[in-house]
Amino acid sequence: MKSVINLMESDLKLKRLSDDTRKEYLRCAKEFVAFFDQPPQELYENDVRKYLHNLVEVRKASTSNHKMHLAAIKFLYSTLGCPWITANIPWPKVTSRLPEVLSFEEIHGLLEAASTPLYRNAFMVSYGAGLRVSETMRVAAGDIDSKRGVIVVRNGKGDKDRLTVLSPRLLDSLRNYWGKSRPRSAQPWLFPGKTKDGHISRESLQAEIRKARSRAGMRKPVRYHSLRHSFATHLLESGVDIRVIQALLGHRSLSATARYTQVRTDHIAQVTSPLELLHERFGGA
């Protein structure tokens, strides 16, 4: 089994997938093999279907988790040279959900509720520049280009670099944090932690956003990605061109950015409900 996983890991590197994606694929592949306690070469299409049914019906996996497992298993059998084993297994239908957007007041509440300057500044970077949690984790001091007023995002999703906005207020906060609160062992990372590479972990940031939500007394669901969703929606509502937002977010397709038009409240709030028109015509309650 170890040799199969090593071979799969080698192929994942050749495909040049991100570290996070490689880890998820390997985790899912190991869970699949452990479920049967047999070499994957001895398993067939019906076995894969049995595993996925268990994943969905017994373990109640989300659609995204289901999709990740299937992608990993398909990659595993491609590595083993028998992709036909999974060729007829359908992909799950992915439900399209509206982005979770926070108001300015809610963003302020989260920033105020952050337990340390490190977490507060990490939240500010994610919201102020539209960074994913995986990108915020790996921001280095040298990525803050104060002269040009930009943050360089390196190895973002799809292994792409991009530039995003660096606001003066964020720059002031980062300078204060860098000079007073940053651990001296932090270089080169802006937000150090206990990961192998020395930067903060995804789990730490996600756990802190949940704690900050609770401390701020917020009832609505909040995920770390809500900061990035809010960045895009607030820019759109302030009149920034959608193609500029696309570039700042690093979206390959404009359609990925266009979904924020569905949650911008400035236009929706201006629409007159037909209930108001009904009242104007007939009066009453």
Q: Which residues are catalytic?
A: 132, 157, 225, 228, 251, 260
Q: Which amino acid is at 155?
A: N
CB neighbours of residue 25 within 10 Å: 24
Name the token pair of 70: 């299937």
Nearest in space to 206 (alpha carbons), one of 126, 152, 95, 144:
126
Nearest in space to 170 (alpha carbons), one of 225, 118, 129:
129
Read off the DSSP letter of residue 92. Answer: P
Q: How many angstroms from the chain centroid is the CA of residue 33? A: 27
Read off the DSSP letter of residue 259. Answer: G
Q: What angle do CA 161, 166, 172 make, to 5 degrees?
A: 135
Name the token pair of 145: 């280009």
Strands 162-165 and 144-145 turn out to be: unpaired
